[in-house]
Structure 1
Amino acid sequence: MGPQPGQKTVLITGCTPGGIGHALCLEFHAKGVHVIATARNPAVLSEMAAMGMTTLALDVTKTDSIKACHDAVSNLTGGKLDILVNNAGRTHTHPATDIDLADVRETFETNVFGVMAMCALFADLLITSKGLIINIASLAAITPYVFGAVYCASKGAVTSYSRTLRLELKPFGVRVMVAMAGTVRSQIASHTHRTLPEGSIYQRVRGLFERRLTFSQNNATVETGEFARKLVGSALAPEWPLLLRAWFGRPDWFWGGGWSGKVWLSTFFGEWLLDFVMYRMIGMKQLEGVLREEERQKKLK
């Protein structure tokens, strides 16, 4: 079943049940927007299809898959799309000195290049409807999230890309919103995680690294549905002049999830504050102690 005449449409990437994309689908659907839910395996979206949503296969790392999805959406909607939500993403928790570049490239293919490809290929449908792009970024884009250098870099790239995209598409009437997501409940804690290699300099504090793997699920974590309600509310808010958007209308920047308010406030004080907090929160002072003890033992020999 396609959209009804005059009904707004939204395409969301990465909609596997249990994540932010799935919660956004349910919330947009509840608000009367026709949802086009996508996943690499559309079979996992069967419950959403039964609710009346359109479900399509989409792998944001494959150009052919994006093109096929674009053509299907164009046929479904008559050549337009009101909202594109680039939600599909990949976690990457590993010390910067232990990275495998092939693994890093996979993360950037999904988190960065996939976003760029979706925006480029769906631009024509969004221009027709003078629509909205929502790129799901993260507080990690501006936070020194220890053991997350690759993930931070990928989300930092998304925020910088989105700022420029906003200006490039402004003449065509297309808005770009960046969602600075904090800690939000998801299935991340059940995923297979990376491990420290045998020779890692962080084997000394292996416990810190292992606790960091599930940090986002145990620290001021906001329920997925609550995050989705707030983001969808902002996405469907009326337009206001530029200087008033952050308070009244559809914002250019959406801050939501655990720690989002505190991190936003910290940006007024300079990066030293976030450095100070994250260093101690993750437990790097413990590593300092371990290294001092190692030095002391060397001197005693």
Structure 2
Amino acid sequence: MSERQKVALVTGASSGIGYATAIEFAKRGYKVFAGARRLEPMQKLKDDYGIYIFKLDVSDLDSVKEARKLIESETGGDYLDFLYNNAGQSCTFPATDVTDEQMKQCFEVNVFGGIRTTRELIPLIINAKGVVGFTGSVSGIIPFPFSCIYSSSKAAIHQYAATLRLEMKPFGVKVINIVTGGVKTNIEDKRDLPETSLYNVPGITEAFNARRQMAARNHPMPAEVYARKVVSDFENAKLGGALNYYRGRMSTFLGHVLNFVPRFIVEYALVRKFQLAGIFAYLKQKYSKDKIH
């Protein structure tokens, strides 16, 4: 009896990390399903690599349920060897400016989407003794300015992955979290600060742009290189191993720096890095005299 072809699902596969990882899985001989909210950007995945593309909105329970039915129908079985929860959304705003809609949307995709997709597909993964993976981020560890919501969403998924890893031990399912540093993608948040922002002071445009373009300005790792490492991490996870894998530029350093450098020094470095010293001084002086209305 011939060995069945192994099956992988990548969410958020319309660009960047998800797109490149779907290709890498396909190159290694897996049957790949690539899901995203838009089909058009994924057409080349189908045409050039034979990847099955389909609409998937991880924030929609019905859409996720349909994904399971699709995999079962197209594979003729009830197995899923690799689930890569990669769908994500940026949210670069100060804590004082982010709206309810923006914070809910970020958590719906970055946190609840991965949780929902995992829950609905876990029977297939258990049957395969497979691997569940998540795109984490150094932002879930380092307090980068203007990313309270995004950073907290990634910190949440880090802890979810850690706990899921423990809960899945009786079923032979492995769980990995890819703590991601700088990778060349188009996830940059292009929205501007609202006019009413407390941070709309001299110098903020340069500082805010430096933060939004942090990855692009710091020699990010090509998505294809990242994808090769991540697919190998999935394959190696079947043999046992770590929870966290540090991939992308500066990921290992940033993922551990708070273990050996005092927090106040890290905060000082971040203020310098993102050109915030003058802005913070201006705000401190201004609001030592003025009331906020």
Q: Does the alignment reach a TM-score above 0.5?
A: yes
What is the 5 A alignment of 1:59-78?
A: 59-77=57-75, 78=77
> Which range moved further: 110-119 or 196-205?
196-205
Q: Corresponding residue for 2:182? A: 183
Deviation, structure 1 residue 265? 3.6
Alignment RMSD, CA only?
2.1
TM-score relative to the length of structure 1: 0.88
Q: Corresponding residue for 1:81? A: 80
| Count of equivalent residues | 284
What is the 5 A alignment of 1:149-298?
A: 149-189=148-188, 193-204=190-201, 205-207=203-205, 208-237=207-236, 239-240=238-239, 245=241, 251-269=242-260, 272=263, 273-291=265-283
Is contact 1:188–1:214 with CA below 8 Å preserved after alignment?
A: no
Q: Corresponding residue for 1:248? A: none
1:264 corresponds to which letter in structure 2?
Answer: G
Deviation, structure 1 residue 287? 1.7
Is contact 1:220–1:259 with CA below 8 Å preserved after alignment?
A: no
Q: Corresponding residue for 2:142? A: 143
Deviation, structure 1 residue 267? 3.6
Is contact 2:11–2:34 with CA below 8 Å preserved after alignment?
A: yes
Q: Corresponding residue for 1:126? A: 125
Q: Corresponding residue for 2:23? A: 26
Secondary structure of 1:37's match?
strand
Alpha carbons of 1:81 and 1:112: their partners in 2 closer, same or farther (altered >3 Å)?
A: same
Q: Deviations over 1:97-140 (max 9, x none)?
A: 11101111011110011011001000000000000000111000
Q: Corresponding residue for 1:8? A: 6
Deviation, structure 1 residue 220? 3.5
Is contact 2:130–2:238 with CA below 8 Å preserved after alignment?
A: no
2:35 corresponds to which letter in structure 1?
Answer: T
> Which range moved further: 63-72 or 288-297?
288-297
Secondary structure of 1:96's match?
coil
Deviation, structure 1 residue 238? 6.1
- Structure 2's unaligned 5+ residue stretches are none
Is contact 2:179–2:255 with CA below 8 Å preserved after alignment?
A: no
Inter-partner Cα distance in structure 1 for 2:238 and 2:116: 27
TM-score relative to the length of structure 2: 0.90
Deviation, structure 1 residue 297? 11
